């Protein structure tokens, strides 16, 4: 029997980042369960608070992934010689482990550019996990003056070029992102794999729905809308609240459930809007809340960073069978929602009509083949071959 690939996954976010839990840890768990590959994870946060929280979460992460998870305090990108120092950290870990890693799965442009040509000297295949267009994301930075913005753009552009040059294989999170990177990536092997969710964690169940609605004191006749995310400008929370106000004007019993860790800023935006429930939720509670809802908000503007994106929340909404109030900005997600038929299109400032009567079990079944790790097991097997 052929020996399974041994993958070292490197990332510079902390374990306290919810995206790491939903994407990286879940990925390692599912790949092991499916027999695709064995993993080790190296988490390299540079902020002291994130580093401390990651140490606390280390054991839990190892229980989830059934794989070794090492926490290394890294150096902040942008600090002089930080890339060289962080490369030394990874090299020391690889040398100490003396493990025969077949692949290094480097999450983001930064991780890939840091490891760079070292992967070849270790006899491993370097995989660039490209999660978005980091240069385009600068448009949401309001804290940079023109000179700092220009310099930052150059740094990020050079980082992407380095990742594309040094990696041997790549994952692009959307087709528009792959097409945008094609001039740099050329014809090297790559796979388009959207941000996905674990079908063991996200699914529709009528019993779960009724139980959670009772817990929230939501009557059967009431329409429950849900927003899950941060207060980052690109997620358009203020616009979501304004749109809900219009919905509530025609449906006075409608309720908006807001799930966010940024409670303080959310309260300011919600202000005196009636019919809003504000809560925070752990990852393991999200499925219950999504089951309880009748529709989810995912508003985005048609900006370069959104066009190439694929939000994890979209996968979670789809797997719980929810109709999604969305624009056409996130191209791949929009196409899937159109294909499956769970879209409430508000492109061109349209106001949403009534929530369509949908078979949530049927929607969930459709999304199982489109936005789960299991659905892309074959692509991952090729990637780690």
Q: Is the dihedral of CA 57, 59, 65, 69 positive or negative?
A: positive
Q: Against a cut of 0.85, is the pTM above it?
A: yes
Q: In the chain, which stretches have pLDDT less than 70?
A: 1-2, 98
What are the helix and strand counts (H, E) for the chain? 17, 13
Distance CA 366, CA 376 (A): 14
Indicate the average pLDDT of the chain.
92
Domain ranges across the chain? 6-194+373-383, 206-368
Q: Are 31 and 380 in contact (CB under 8 A)?
A: yes
> According to the model, what pLDDT value does residue 354 have?
78
Distance CA 95, CA 190 (A): 28
> According to the model, what pLDDT value does residue 2 have?
63
> According to the model, what pLDDT value does residue 87 have?
92
| 174 contacts: CB under 8 Å, gap ≥ 6 | 192, 194, 308, 309, 310, 330, 331, 332
| 273 contacts: CB under 8 Å, gap ≥ 6 | 241, 244, 245, 248, 256
Q: Is the dihedral of CA 160, 164, 165, 171 positive or negative?
A: positive
> According to the model, what pLDDT value does residue 328 have?
95
CATH number of 206-368: 3.40.50.2000
Same fold flag, 6-194+373-383 and 206-368 = yes
Closest CA to 162 of 238, 118, 110: 110
CATH superfamily of 6-194+373-383: Glycogen Phosphorylase B; (3.40.50.2000)
- Model pLDDT for residues 46-66, shown as the tens digit of each residue: 999 999 999 999 999 999 999
Q: What is the DSSP string of 292-319?
A: H-SEEEE-----HHHHT---HHHHHHHH
């Amino acid at each position: 029997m052929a020996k399974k690939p041994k993958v070292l996954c490197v990332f510079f976010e902390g374990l306290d980042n919810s995206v790491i839990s939903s994407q990286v840890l879940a990925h390692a768990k599912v790949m092991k369960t499916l027999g695709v590959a064995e993993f080790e994870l190296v988490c390299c946060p540079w902020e002291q608070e994130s580093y401390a929280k990651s140490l606390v979460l280390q054991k839990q992460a190892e229980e989830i992934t059934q794989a070794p998870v090492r926490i290394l305090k890294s150096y902040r990108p942008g600090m002089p010689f930080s890339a060289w120092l962080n490369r030394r950290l990874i090299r020391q870990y690889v040398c100490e482990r003396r493990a025969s890693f077949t692949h290094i799965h480097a999450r983001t442009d930064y991780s890939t550019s840091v490891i760079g040509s070292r992967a070849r000297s270790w006899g491993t295949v370097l995989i660039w996990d490209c999660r978005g267009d980091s240069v385009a994301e600068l448009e949401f930075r309001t804290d940079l003056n023109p000179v700092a913005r220009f310099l930052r753009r150059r740094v990020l552009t050079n980082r992407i070029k380095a990742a594309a040059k040094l990696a041997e294989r790549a994952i692009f999170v959307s087709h528009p992102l792959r097409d945008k990177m094609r001039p740099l990536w050329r014809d090297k092997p790559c796979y388009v794999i959207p941000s996905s969710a674990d079908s063991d964690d996200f699914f529709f169940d009528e019993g779960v729905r009724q139980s959670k609605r009772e817990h929230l004191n939501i009557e059967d006749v009431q329409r429950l809308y849900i927003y899950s995310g941060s207060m980052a400008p690109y997620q358009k929370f203020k616009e979501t609240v304004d749109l809900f106000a219009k919905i509530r004007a025609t449906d006075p019993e409608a309720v908006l459930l807001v799930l966010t860790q940024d409670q303080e800023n959310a309260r300011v935006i919600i202000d005196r809007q009636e019919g809003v429930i504000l809560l925070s939720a752990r990852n393991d509670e999200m499925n219950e809340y999504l089951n309880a809802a009748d529709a989810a908000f995912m508003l985005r503007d048609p900006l370069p960073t959104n066009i190439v994106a694929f939000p994890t929340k979209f996968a979670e909404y789809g797997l719980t069978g929810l109709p999604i109030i969305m624009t056409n900005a996130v191209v791949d997600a929009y196409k899937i929602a159109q294909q499956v038929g769970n879209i409430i299109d508000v492109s061109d400032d349209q106001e949403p009509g009534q929530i369509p009567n949908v078979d949530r079990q049927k929607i969930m079944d459709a999304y199982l083949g489109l936005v789960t790790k299991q659905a892309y097991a074959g692509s991952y097997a090729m990637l780690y071959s």
